[in-house]
Chain A
Amino acid sequence: MRKDSGNDARPFARVLIANRGEIALRIIRTCRDLDIDTVAVYSDADVDAAHVRAADAAVRLGPAPAGESYLRGEAIIAAALSTGAEAIHPGYGFLSERAAFAGAVTEAGLVFVGPPARAIEALGDKLAARRTAIAADVPVVPGTFEPAPVDRPDMVDDILSAAEKIGFPLMVKAAAGGGGRGMRRVEEARSLPTALVAASAEAHAAFGDGSVYLEREVRPARHIEVQLLGDATGDVIALGERDCSVQRRHQKLVEETPAPGLTDDERRELHAMAVRAARAAGLSNASTAEFLFDPDRRFWFLEVNARLQVEHGVTELVTDIDLVAEQLWVAAGRPLSDPVRRAADAAATPTRHAIEIRLSAEDPSRDFAPVPGRIDEWVMPAGPGVRVDTAARPGDRVPPDYDPMIAKVMTVAQDRPSAIRRMRRALDEVVVTGIQTTLPFDRALVRDRAFLRDDGSALSTDWVAERWDGPGARSNVRRSAAIAAARASEGASRRSSSLRKDTRSRSAWAASGRESAIDRWPR
């Protein structure tokens, strides 16, 4: 038996992972590395999913919709108690930033692997986070610090004069916001009252809280965030930053570390600001402080995400720190480890570069519309300096109920050009059939001349809108696709006599086609 109590070599004997997909599998892997038993939870859409198979035990939560499964906090806590788990790791998304859930986990006598409930609550309110940051002497994007009086027509003049002071165009944002919901861009004063009401209604529908505030639009801007790790003693360190500027509708598409073109001094300044904000907010465990970086090389605090980020892997690749392992140790009450402190000391002078692209079941020629379906072939890259986090397998269905991201492809090398070259090679190795993915976009990005500029000057949150023409890119390869299809059909016909008796028709056809196919990499 592995479960000898009081084992100091592992933080917990058994951990429940309250998530699905690649992040659930990634957390299970670290647990196995640490000799921790794992409990998976799943919905009816994930009965046979990779994370369920990888865990030592699994508990069904309910039907596919997240509200009836992965968001059922009380069912998850009950599953942890009934399976003897000591801690719950929430991953990202779902319940990871719900203060009420974190609190309920603790009240049930379990450990929540993440920041304390009160810190999540304080930071979940963007207005409170802005006030905390400014009190900690961290520059925040100019704007308001209290909810706009949406329901008070008599106060319209007040909000208009505040808006004039901030300057147009400006952003109306939801205090409880995230993912671009409850957000409006306002170009002139007369559109402001309507935008406030619309954003407030949207925020209320999405988050149950209609509070909105005003913020200057910093544009063009780069999106740079700092990885933070803190322990129960209140000690917080920064493990370097990540540039996540390439976004589409506030969803990140690619992330890299270090942020290109920053001086060591700028890095130190940025990391110090993030640590100050985190300490002031009482953060512990893993969290991320997000900043905008403007063309005048100023950083503006945006918000703190009190959880492990999707893109944490690039930080792991350059620091050699397993952030999930550190999260578990910190949650078990250990102070920050020496390797973590050394990595933090070296974070302002990085010697390696890592980049991540998110492979999603989305169609980049149709405005990145989600395209759920069944994966047929599935080949992920490997080799030196390549890491792939995924839970997808050949034959898996990508359910329409959850996030369309199906894999994170990461590369690491001694510098940015090498990491990007390695990413080009890695993406050439990817084979996905059965569904459309964002691969064409990812391939184009790592070949784009502006993106390759190493000072980061071309990176901006407007990159996709300015440089990506999906339908055009697709039509450029249609002729090659038609030729390949014709040749494959020709090859299949040549072999048809020998295959006619084969009853496994589809796979046999596919196999014969592949023999004759023109599978190759560019030379």
Chain B
Amino acid sequence: MAEMSPARPAYRVDSSPSTAMPDDGSIVVGPDAAIDGSAVVHVGAIGPVEPSGRRAVEVVVDGWRFELHVEDEGRAALRDRATRDRDAAVKPGESLEIRAIIPGRVASVAVAVGDTVETGQTLLAVEAMKMQNELRAPRAGTVLRVPAAAGATVELGDVLVVLE
């Protein structure tokens, strides 16, 4: 049986330009991530959730001050995918993997292998925390594979549909 609605979602944390160093990459904080037990941690100012979905948080760890942007990893991945897929859409001919942007259960699958789909057509829906998230085709193409089946539990990043 699949365990539904994970207690804690994952977050993606980025440095704000004000305190970022050149090689500061994004950090994904999973549900079980733990802070180094010897660190002295202080949380400073916490901003509101911005329209973009991000929230600014000031943290000082062992004296190092960070201004960080926290957002839901699922949402961040979705945005990334939208950006990447928009790029991918310009070069057809390569297959395109559509991956789970949130962990959850596949609620329904709307396409089968061999179907041709239009841009924006619903491919499947993933349910997490009682929310249905519909995945739409980022570009037109033929469905090459559908590794996801209705009712299956999927993890973040699992391949759900592959378009030709």
Q: Give A residues with C-beta under 8 Å from B.
A: 365, 376-377, 427-428, 430-443, 471, 473-475, 477-486, 488-490, 492-493, 496, 505-506, 509-510, 512-514, 516-523
A residues near B61, Cβ cutoff 8 Å? 477, 480-481, 484
Given A477-B36, A485-B43: A437 in contact with B68 (beta carbons within 8 A): no
Do A520 and B19 touch across chains, with their CB atoms under 8 A apart?
A: no
- CB < 8 Å: which of B21, B47, B48 contacts A365? B21
Least CB distance from B138 to A in Å reads: 28
Do B40 and A433 touch across chains, with their CB atoms under 8 A apart?
A: no
Do A488 and B59 touch across chains, with their CB atoms under 8 A apart?
A: yes
Given A488-B46, A488-B57, A490-B8: A481 in contact with B68 (beta carbons within 8 A): yes
B residues near A431, Cβ cutoff 8 Å? 42, 60
Q: Which 3 A-B pairs have the closest CB atoms?
A: A439-B63, A433-B44, A513-B46
B residues near A482, Cβ cutoff 8 Å? 13, 27, 29, 66, 68
Do B62 and A477 touch across chains, with their CB atoms under 8 A apart?
A: yes
Least CB distance from A475 to B in Å reads: 8
Given A509-B45, A521-B40, A522-B39: A443 in contact with B24 (beta carbons within 8 A): no
Interface pairs (7), CB distance under 8 Å? A435-B65, A440-B63, A442-B63, A474-B64, A477-B39, A483-B29, A490-B8
Give complex CA distance A437, B37 in Å.
22
Do B45 and A484 touch across chains, with their CB atoms under 8 A apart?
A: no
Least CB distance from A149 to B in Å reads: 47
Task: Provide the B22-52 mask, 1 if CB < 8 A to any CB of A, else 0.
Answer: 0110010100011111111111111111000
A residues near B21, Cβ cutoff 8 Å? 365, 471, 474-475
- CB < 8 Å: which of B41, B49, B70 contacts A519? B41
Task: Provide the B9-23 mask, 1 if CB < 8 A to any CB of A, else 0.
Answer: 001010000010101
CB-nearest residue of chain B to A434: B44
- CB < 8 Å: which of A443, A471, A489 contacts B62? A443
Do B68 and A509 touch across chains, with their CB atoms under 8 A apart?
A: no
Residues B47-91 near A (CB distance < 8 A) = 47-49, 55, 57-66, 68, 70
Most chain B Cβ neighbours within 10 Å, of A436, A485, A517: A485
- CB < 8 Å: which of B8, B37, B70 contacts A485? B70
Give complex CA distance A516, B35 in Å.
14
B residues near A521, Cβ cutoff 8 Å? 40
Give complex CA distance A475, B37 in Å.
16
Give complex CA distance A431, B33 in Å.
24
Least CB distance from A68 to B in Å reads: 30
Do B55 and A489 touch across chains, with their CB atoms under 8 A apart?
A: yes
Do B63 and A485 touch across chains, with their CB atoms under 8 A apart?
A: no
B residues near A436, Cβ cutoff 8 Å? 19, 64-65
B residues near A365, Cβ cutoff 8 Å? 21, 64
Do A480 and B45 touch across chains, with their CB atoms under 8 A apart?
A: no
B residues near A377, Cβ cutoff 8 Å? 42, 44
Do B19 and A513 touch across chains, with their CB atoms under 8 A apart?
A: no
- CB < 8 Å: which of B62, B65, B68 contacts A433? B65
Do A509 and B27 touch across chains, with their CB atoms under 8 A apart?
A: no
Do A481 and B37 touch across chains, with their CB atoms under 8 A apart?
A: no
A residues near B44, Cβ cutoff 8 Å? 376-377, 433-434, 510
Most chain A Cβ neighbours within 10 Å, of B41, B63, B66: B63
- CB < 8 Å: which of A430, A433, A486, A516 contacts B13? A486
B residues near A484, Cβ cutoff 8 Å? 35, 41, 43, 59, 61
Least CB distance from B12 to A in Å reads: 9
Give complex CA distance A60, B80 in Å.
56
Give complex CA distance A510, B59 in Å.
11
* Additional 14 contacts, C-beta under 8 A, given A509-B47, A513-B57, A519-B42: A439-B63, A442-B63, A475-B21, A477-B62, A479-B33, A480-B35, A480-B61, A481-B64, A489-B55, A493-B49, A496-B49, A506-B45, A513-B46, A518-B41
CB-nearest residue of chain A to B8: A490
A residues near B49, Cβ cutoff 8 Å? 493, 496
A residues near B60, Cβ cutoff 8 Å? 431-433
B residues near A434, Cβ cutoff 8 Å? 44-45, 58
Do B64 and A492 touch across chains, with their CB atoms under 8 A apart?
A: no
Least CB distance from A440 to B in Å reads: 4
Least CB distance from A501 to B in Å reads: 13
Give complex CA distance A432, B61 in Å.
11
Give complex CA distance A484, B39 in Å.
11
B residues near A437, Cβ cutoff 8 Å? 63, 65
Given A440-B63, A510-B46: A522 in contact with B40 (beta carbons within 8 A): yes
Do A440 and B47 touch across chains, with their CB atoms under 8 A apart?
A: no
B residues near A518, Cβ cutoff 8 Å? 35, 41, 43
- CB < 8 Å: which of B8, B37, B38, B43 contacts A488? B43
A residues near B64, Cβ cutoff 8 Å? 365, 436, 440, 473-474, 477, 481
CB-nearest residue of chain A to B45: A510
Do A505 and B43 touch across chains, with their CB atoms under 8 A apart?
A: no
Do B35 and A509 touch across chains, with their CB atoms under 8 A apart?
A: no
- CB < 8 Å: which of B13, B33, B43, B65 contacts A517? B43
Do A522 and B70 touch across chains, with their CB atoms under 8 A apart?
A: no
Do A480 and B41 touch across chains, with their CB atoms under 8 A apart?
A: yes
Give complex CA distance A180, B99 in Å.
59
Do A523 and B37 touch across chains, with their CB atoms under 8 A apart?
A: yes
Give complex CA distance A19, B38 in Å.
40
CB-nearest residue of chain B to A511: B46
Give complex CA distance A94, B75 in Å.
55
Least CB distance from A303 to B in Å reads: 33
Least CB distance from B6 to A in Å reads: 13
Do A433 and B41 touch across chains, with their CB atoms under 8 A apart?
A: no
Give complex CA distance A139, B63 in Å.
42
Give complex CA distance A437, B60 in Å.
10
Do B41 and A517 touch across chains, with their CB atoms under 8 A apart?
A: yes
